[in-house]
Structure 1
Amino acid sequence: MNARIRSRLTPYLFLAPALIFMSVFTLYPLLAVGYYSFTEYDILRPPAPVGLANYQRLLNDGVFWLSLRNSFVYLIVTPVIIALAIGLAIALNRTLPGISVFRALYYIPVITGSVAIGIAWQFLFNGSGGPINGLLLWLGVIDKPIVFLTEPSYILPIAMLMTIWMGVGYYMVVFLAALQNIPEDLYDAARIDGCNHWQKHWHVSIPGIRPAIVFVAVISSLSALKVFDEIYVLTNATGGVLNSGSTMVFYLWKQAFRLQNVGYASAIAMVLLVITLSFSILNVRLLERRED
């Protein structure tokens, strides 16, 4: 092998471990799921081709459409998380005694296990003596305890609040890093131009962290579409009464691991893949447009 060929192959040799890893843990599972989505497969028996039957079944599956709707409703957490994280980042972007302690406190939920947090939230919303019921009874808002986690109208909002509480600290750090990259001269110029405190942040801080906002919007949107832990823990792996808290990923898990409908679960996974890819492409396009 001459030196010229060796020099051309060298970059690919460096990339080979990563390419092999991606092929084994990403490409192969993706192709396998795509194949299984056209089969009837329950792990115990070999997959049997059924054509588009699984996708036709999706069209008539009320729980699938409910799960899809819940997943899109869950996207409400994205603007809420962005607003709260920006507010916290602005509040903590200053040099005050003990400010680092507050930054660490807001980040604690991020490094705490979602199962542990879910158990804590189950206690908070316990229908037979939880702190939330106790507070509402004390304030006179309700006259008898509410069993929040078995009420179809409450389970999804509670899960969304849990997601916001767990995620806002992480996104706060992202925005805090972006804010610290904004030159102080821009704030001085804004003050000279007569901007008050809020106008200064609106005209300087927000435009300065716009790439971070788009990044957080992409990541939090994809996380919302793929939410699972919150629903699993809060509903004790049932999805709630009448599947009221079921989301796409939870329904996929239920079909695959509870009901052993691997072929049908694979079809759900392919639909979820198309949705998440569409969101990713849309957000990247928006980012490119803003940069232009």
Structure 2
Amino acid sequence: MNQLSSKNWMLIRHQLTPYLFLLPALIILCLTVFWPALQAFYLSFTSYEDLAQPPQWIGITNFLKLWQDAVFWQTLTNTFLYLVGVVPILVIAPLALAILVNQKLGGMNWFRAAYYTPVVISMVVAGIAWKWLYAENGLLNQLFKAVGIFPEGIPWLTSPSKILGIVPISLASVMAVTVWKGLGYYMVIYLAGLQSIPADVYEAAAIDGSDGIRKHWDITIPLMRPYLALVAVISAISATKVFEEVYIMTQGGPLNSSKTIVYYLYEQAFSNVEFSYACTIGLVLFLIILGLSVVRLVIDRQGNDNITI
């Protein structure tokens, strides 16, 4: 009997051991992620503008306010435009770069380093540098004036005018920085996928007449579909949460033309001191990111046999 109990105890201890190793990380996650998230969810149903007083329960008042908030819908539209403008480029362009740097040619390591350098640069530094480039007398406008294009310059960050009546110039200018900084990161993901494709597959395709650019259409793209889907979801989540570029370069202006949902959340919380309303905006953002994360989880499961990130 004692021997049976001992074996049961050993089995239970063996099963609990992994969770004991995870316990410190779970405690930290609970204190820094899960508990604050629950608090934010609760505060979204309260009024908490006076930090000296406890929050007052007001039900769905904040959600009704959000529904009637024109600035919120504008920031939501800007965020959607950010997704549509940034994600397709970050899915296609890095794949082309990865195919280029995957060629067995001299000096390709330098090209890889050059393309990846923006990834390791701080967004603060990158934002300030691009803000100088976009300045009225910045390098870009000086270059256009030198070649006789746009002699009066382009108000990159100071005009609410829209390109083709859709995307504000200021928002498009910020998008360009996001694309510039993300190209190298997604290129590395694609490069890992390209190097996992056996060379004999291309050799067999060449015998069948599929060579040059056609081999990438016939072989590379079909085999890279899990990577393409993964990059699409990751870049979509990142674009939804964009903040640093907007804060450093435009601070949401002019006339809210470049203000995204995360920047609006920050503004409500720390500029207007409306923490409960900011939590309501955060809850909407959480639902959007949750949906994108579920898509990523499905993609990871479907491509688990093909890729490992």
TM over 0.5: yes
Post-superposition shift, 1:105?
Answer: 0.8
2:88 aligned with 1:79: yes
Name the counterpart of 2:142: 134
CA contact (8 A) 1:110 1:170 kept: yes
For 2:191 and 2:299, locate their aligned partners in 1 and report how far apart those are by CA, in whole Å: 22
Q: Deviations over 1:68-106 (max 9, x none)?
A: 011111112111011110000000002222211110111
TM-score by length of 1: 0.94
Name the counterpart of 1:11: 18
TM-score by length of 2: 0.89
| Aligned mate of 2:283, from 257, 263, 270 | 270
CA contact (8 A) 2:265 2:282 kept: yes
Name the counterpart of 2:109: 100
What 5-or-longer segments of structure 2 have no aligned partner? 1-5, 161-167
Post-superposition shift, 1:145?
Answer: 2.6
Name the counterpart of 2:164: none
Name the counterpart of 2:46: 39
Percent of matched pairs sharing the same residue: 44
For 2:156 and 2:169, locate their aligned partners in 1 and report how far apart those are by CA, in whole Å: 6
Single out whichever of 42-51 and 272-281 deviates more from structure 2: 42-51
Name the counterpart of 2:294: 281
State the AA in 2 paired with 1:140. Answer: G
Post-superposition shift, 1:4?
Answer: 3.9
For 2:16 and 2:189, locate their aligned partners in 1 and report how far apart those are by CA, in whole Å: 38
Post-superposition shift, 1:138?
Answer: 2.2
Post-superposition shift, 1:188?
Answer: 0.4
For 1:291 and 1:19, locate their aligned partners in 2 and report how far apart those are by CA, in whole Å: 25
Measured at CA, do residues 247 and 94 of structure 1 come closer, stay the same or move farther in structure 2, by a change above 3 Å?
same
For 1:162 and 1:4, locate their aligned partners in 2 and report how far apart those are by CA, in whole Å: 55
For 1:16 and 1:291, locate their aligned partners in 2 and report how far apart those are by CA, in whole Å: 27
RMSD between superposed Cα atoms in Å: 1.8
For 1:132 and 1:49, locate their aligned partners in 2 and report how far apart those are by CA, in whole Å: 52
- SS state at 2:227 partner: helix
Figure out how many residues of one structure are paired with residues of the other and give that number.
Answer: 289
1:205-284 superposed matches below 5 A: 205-235=220-250, 237=251, 239-284=252-297
Name the counterpart of 1:200: 215
Greater percentage in helix? 1
1:145-224 superposed matches below 5 A: 145-152=153-160, 153-224=168-239
What 5-or-longer segments of structure 1 have no aligned partner? none
- SS state at 1:87 partner: helix
